[in-house]
Amino acid sequence: MKKDIHPKYYENVIMTCSCGAKFVAGSTKENVKTELCSACHPFFTGQTKLIDTAGRVDKFTARRKAVEEIKRKREEEKKLAKEKKIEERLETLVEERKVTAEKTAKAKAKKPKAKKIAKKAKK
C-alpha cells in the first residue's frame, strides 16, 4: 500500500442512532450519527413504521391526492362531454323529424292538386 494516502481509521467509534441506541464500531470518521439502526428498523423489529424524513411521506400523499383529483376531473369532463354529445344528437334528430314532417306535409298538400288535375282530365 502507498503511504500517506489513506484516511485515518478509528477502531472505537461510538455510533448513535436517532432512536437513542449506541454501539461501537470502526470507521474513518470520529463521530457517526444515523437515522436507522437494527434496534429501530422495521425489518429487524417486525413492526410496520412510517419513517418520515423531511416530510417525504406527506409530500407523497399530497402528490397522490393531486393525481387522484386530476383523474376525477378528467372522468367528470368525459362524462359531461358524453352527455353533451347525446344532447346534440337528440337535437339533430328532432330537427330531422321536423324537416321530414314538413316535407310530408308539403307532399300531402300537393296530392289534392294532383287529384284536381286528374278530375279535369276525366271531364
Q: What is the pLDDT of residues 59-94, one digit of tens each?
A: 888 999 999 999 999 999 999 999 999 999 999 999
- pLDDT score of 90: 94
- pLDDT score of 86: 94
Sign of CA dihedral 63, 69, 72, 76: negative
Instruction: Give the contacts of 36 (CB within 8 A, at least 6 positions apart).
Output: 17, 18, 19, 51
- pLDDT score of 88: 94
Q: What is d(CA 5, CA 25) in angstroms, rounded to the nearest whole number?
A: 22
pLDDT in tens, 7-66: 889 999 999 998 888 999 999 998 899 888 878 877 777 777 666 666 788 888 899 999
Q: Are 10 and 28 in contact (CB under 8 A)?
A: yes
More confident residue, 33 or 114: 33
φ and ψ at 33, to 5 degrees?
-120, 140
Q: What count of other Cβ atoms lies within 10 Å of the Cβ of residue 106? A: 10
CA 44 to chain centre: 35
The correct answer on CATH 4.10.80.400 for the domain covering 10-122 is: yes
- pLDDT score of 14: 92
More confident residue, 51 or 99: 99
Q: What pTM was computed for the model?
A: 0.37
- pLDDT score of 87: 94
Mean confidence (pLDDT) of the chain = 84
Percent of the chain beyond pLDDT 90?
A: 43
Interior/surface letters 11-24, b for 16+ CB within 10 angstroms, e for the rest: eebebebeeeeeee
- pLDDT score of 72: 96
